[in-house]
Amino acid sequence: MQVLIFKLNDEHFAVETAKVQVINDMMEVTRVPKAPSYIKGLINLRGNIISLLDINLLLNIEKKNQGEENVVILNVGEEQVGICVDEVEEVIEVEEEKIEQLKEEKGENYIKGIVNFGDKIVTMIDIDKLI
């Protein structure tokens, strides 16, 4: 399976490339009054209005730096959503058997597993379950 690896702070995460629509530089965000805190706002991508989510809040990761550099547009169900990431690193092929499964913990069923690449450990995210 091919995955897209991205960074949030100093941690590495991955989503399946089958879910990835587009990777863009950060763009203008229109705030939405009274929206939940994990919704950063709306973005206009080639005429399509897409919700931009704060994945740091969804993953319960403290945000260290304010400079998100990339927006990853994902297909989640019938919708497209954007997530802000610090850096998109690479697209890489991962064999299913290299994904170490985690014991199910309450509230963290969105984690598919962990992949150890030697130089970095990547957390695989099931984006459908997260969002």
Residue 40, token pair as written in the block:
């950063």
The reported pLDDT for the residue numbered 76 is: 92
Q: Work out the average pLDDT over 88-109.
A: 82
2-130: which CATH architecture?
A: Beta Barrel (2.40)
Domain ranges of the chain: 2-130
**Mind listing the pLDDT tens digit for each residue in 14-59?**
999 999 999 999 899 999 999 999 999 999 999 999 999 999 988 8
**Mind listing the pLDDT tens digit for each residue in 50-78?**
999 999 988 888 877 666 689 999 999 88
The reported pLDDT for the residue numbered 35 is: 93
Predicted TM-score (pTM) of the model is 0.88
Q: Judging by DSSP bridges, how do beta strands 39-45 and 48-53 pair with one another?
A: antiparallel
The reported pLDDT for the residue numbered 105 is: 59
Q: In sequence order, which residues have a C-beta less than 8 Å from that of residue 15 and are 6 or more positions away? A: 3, 4, 6, 72, 74, 124, 125, 127
The reported pLDDT for the residue numbered 92 is: 94
